[in-house]
Copies of this chain bind each other. A is one copy, B any other.
Amino acid sequence: MIIVLKALSNEKRLKILQWLKEPKKNFASSHCDVAKDGVCVGLIEEKIGLSQSTVSQYLMLLQQAGLITTERRGQWTYCKRNEKAIKELVKNLENI
């Protein structure tokens, strides 16, 4: 619970999570379908204006918190929201 709240309590990470809610609206990829495949790290990096290493670490944090899933495919790592876990979190927060 704390680890999830910690992951969320950062503006940039929260923004990433929110962007991933509407991949098509927020990202454009030439090599994949962001809605189906997920959004690769480079696109997020480009949009958020943080260094590549920072984005990579932030995504790791979000993943450890269970808020996103990542999947390596070829040279890319695709990120998606973990809607199930997010719903679970909100449900838990209801009796905080």
Residue numbers of A with Cβ under 8 A of B are: 1-2, 5-6, 8-11, 14, 17-18, 86, 89-90, 93-94, 96
Contact = CB atoms under 8 A, between A and B. Distances in A.
A10 to B, nearest CB: 7
Given A90-B90, A93-B93, A2 B11 contact: yes
Nearest to A3: B9
B11 A9 contact: no
A11 B14 CA distance: 20
B1 A5 contact: no
A79 B67 CA distance: 33
A8 B96 contact: yes
A95 to B, nearest CB: 8
A29 to B, nearest CB: 24
Contacts of A96: 8, 14, 17-18, 86, 90
A68 B17 CA distance: 27
